[in-house]
Amino acid sequence: MHKAVLLQETIEALRVEPGHWYLDGTFGRGGHTAAILENGGRVLAFDVDSEAIAYGQEAFATHVEAGQLILVRENFDKLAMVVRQNVPDEKISGILFDFGTSSDQLKDQHRGFSFDGDAELDMRMDDRLGVKAKDLLAVLSEKQLANLFLTEGGEREGKAIAHEIVWQRQKRGIETTQQLVQIIEKAKHDRRGHLNPATKVFQALRIAVNGELESIQAVLPQAMKVLAPKGRIACISFHEGEDRVVKQVFKEWQSDGIGQVVTKEIVTAGEEELQDNKRARSAKLRVFEKNAEYV
């Protein structure tokens, strides 16, 4: 079961007030939403994954029936529209994003996110999307693949891996996670470090399949628009690409006089959480507060 990361730090940063509305852009298993509800807040939550929403409807049925929680299966890049449709007259006091995939998605053997086990190379969080990871491997050029592995995964041996992919796809096609794992193992020379050799390529493909960085770019201005004065936006990132977008946008907002970065130092997990949750190792929290006079 997914464990919410930086839970206490995020909830404290949002300064939840009873009866106020909050947005959870990435519901998952509802760890952060549950904490907002426990503090008396009301939540409009998004997830693109039908399984996450179905889980939420059941596990949080009482809150849904009481009108304290609204669950929407939608990409958070439609945030402004979903807010207009569901809580048109409400002020939004805080907004949270806990980017990426949940542990439940990663562990699901059928969805192709993980290099453990064997599955079709799918990797869609939203199964309404038309392009799976195996489709990208089939159509992108060698240069495009190498570039994707380097820019979205930080994989320095991306060129060699892309070369091997193009060779193998001509020979027999690439359909499964284990086929890709074998290709990566064959192409990579540098096996140092604690990461599985396939980690960075899998990350890069997942980010591309789900358009993750584009969604973050698209949602932040919308989030700022719907946020009430003195409201806060909290973003938890797990890799360099996500964090770079958040950091840049927060910096621009601050220099435009829209508000201040609250987290002068990035917030990371403490020893106790790290012992308990491996996923927390790479989590980084940044928080921004909108000025009282900025509407």
The binding site for ligand SAM (CB under 6 A) comprises: 2, 4, 26, 28-32, 46-49, 52, 75-77, 98, 100-102, 125, 215
Q: Pick between residue 48 and residue 180 the one whose CB is nearest to ligand SAM.
A: 48
What is the three-class DSSP state of 69? strand
For residue 273, the minimal CB distance to ligand SAM (Å) is 13
In one-letter notation, the amino acid at residue 206 is R
For residue 278, the minimal CB distance to ligand SAM (Å) is 13
For residue 75, the minimal CB distance to ligand SAM (Å) is 4
What is the three-class DSSP state of 10? helix
Which residues are paired to 96 by β-bridges?
A: 24, 234
Q: Pick between residue 32 and residue 232 the one whose CB is nearest to ligand SAM.
A: 32
For residue 143, the minimal CB distance to ligand SAM (Å) is 27
Instruction: For 147-167, give one letter per residue: b (16+ CB within 10 A) or e.
Output: bbbbbbbebebbbbbbebbbe
For residue 129, the minimal CB distance to ligand SAM (Å) is 11
In one-letter notation, the amino acid at residue 88 is P
Q: Pick between residue 36 and residue 146 the one whose CB is nearest to ligand SAM.
A: 36
What are the angstrom distances between the C-alpha of 290 and each of 46, 143, 225, 258, 259? 22, 42, 10, 6, 4
Q: Pick between residue 77 and residue 155 the one whose CB is nearest to ligand SAM.
A: 77
Token pair recorded at residue 74 = 């939608």
Q: Pick between residue 241 and residue 259 the one whose CB is nearest to ligand SAM.
A: 241
For residue 280, the minimal CB distance to ligand SAM (Å) is 11
What are the angstrom distances between the C-alpha of 64 and each of 19, 70, 114, 218? 15, 6, 32, 28
What's the angle, vertex CA 211, arms to CA 150 and CA 215, rounded to 5? 120
Count of Cβ atoms closer than 10 Å to residue 102 Cβ: 25
Q: Pick between residue 76 and residue 174 the one whose CB is nearest to ligand SAM.
A: 76
Q: Pick between residue 125 and residue 162 the one whose CB is nearest to ligand SAM.
A: 125
Contacts of 161 (CB under 8 A, 6+ apart): 145, 146, 149, 155, 183, 184, 187, 188, 201
Distance CA 157, CA 187 (A): 8
